[in-house]
């Protein structure tokens, strides 16, 4: 191989080495970017999962852990004498009952709505608690017991069908003792036959203070 060919061969080898180095560096950078992207996606998924534990509309004063013997919040109940536009929203999905003055959230109660069953007409799962807009009724009392369901409750107030659908305490057994297994569902899952269950103090406040005619919006 003469000198000219040797120089050409040398420059070809150098060119190949440069191309190889550039390719290796590009692969390294791309790999890092993919790793960063994967880490970002994973972090976002964890954030969504963590955020889903906190229910939308919850007050900063919610009592944790949930205790059905106590009020849902650690602050006093609202004084309805100072409230101009009082209404209630119940979220069956989130197991919460929200007390509002217009658009201002006053108080949040842990609650338990009706169990979900398959609707024979639509085939869809449907809560045993009716949804829609209702109004608080005059019927209320300290205690009741439903023989057909073998279940009762304390501190009740009607919001539909005059004594059929109620706000009331966590359920009681035939002897009057609270059913601890059912009470443990409060704020966590559905479980009633259509009524809205509340903690004992929350139900007592509701039965004593809920004005007749108060708008109650129940959402799935």
List the catalytic residues. Answer: 168, 195
H or E stretch covering 94: none
Distances (CA, A) of 39 to 46, 186, 198: 11, 37, 42
- Which is it for strands 151-160 and 165-169: parallel, antiparallel or unpaired? antiparallel
Q: Which of 122, 95, 92, 97 is nearest to 107 (CA)?
A: 97
Distance CA 27, CA 217 (A): 58
Distances (CA, A) of 158 to 67, 77, 182, 195: 24, 20, 21, 9
């Amino acid at each position: 191989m003469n000198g000219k060919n040797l120089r050409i061969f040398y420059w070809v080898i150098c060119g190949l080495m440069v191309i190889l180095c550039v390719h290796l560096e590009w692969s390294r950078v791309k790999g890092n970017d993919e790793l960063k992207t994967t880490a970002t996606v994973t972090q976002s998924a964890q954030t969504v999962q963590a955020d889903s534990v906190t229910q939308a509309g919850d007050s900063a004063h919610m009592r944790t852990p949930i205790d059905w013997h106590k009020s849902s919040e650690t602050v006093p109940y609202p004084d309805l004498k100072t409230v101009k536009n009082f209404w209630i929203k119940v979220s069956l999905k989130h197991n919460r009952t929200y007390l509002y003055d217009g658009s201002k959230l006053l108080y949040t109660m842990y609650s338990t709505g009706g169990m979900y069953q398959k609707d024979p007409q639509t085939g869809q799962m449907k809560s045993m608690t009716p949804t829609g807009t209702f109004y608080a009724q005059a019927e209320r009392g300290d205690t009741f017991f439903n023989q057909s369901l073998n279940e009762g409750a304390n501190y009740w107030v009607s919001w539909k069908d005059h004594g059929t659908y109620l706000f009331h305490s966590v359920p009681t057994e035939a002897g009057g003792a609270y059913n601890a297994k059912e009470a443990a569902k409060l704020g966590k899952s559905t479980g009633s036959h259509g009524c809205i269950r509340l903690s004992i103090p929350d139900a007592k406040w509701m039965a004593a203070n809920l004005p007749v005619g108060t708008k109650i919006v129940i959402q799935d």
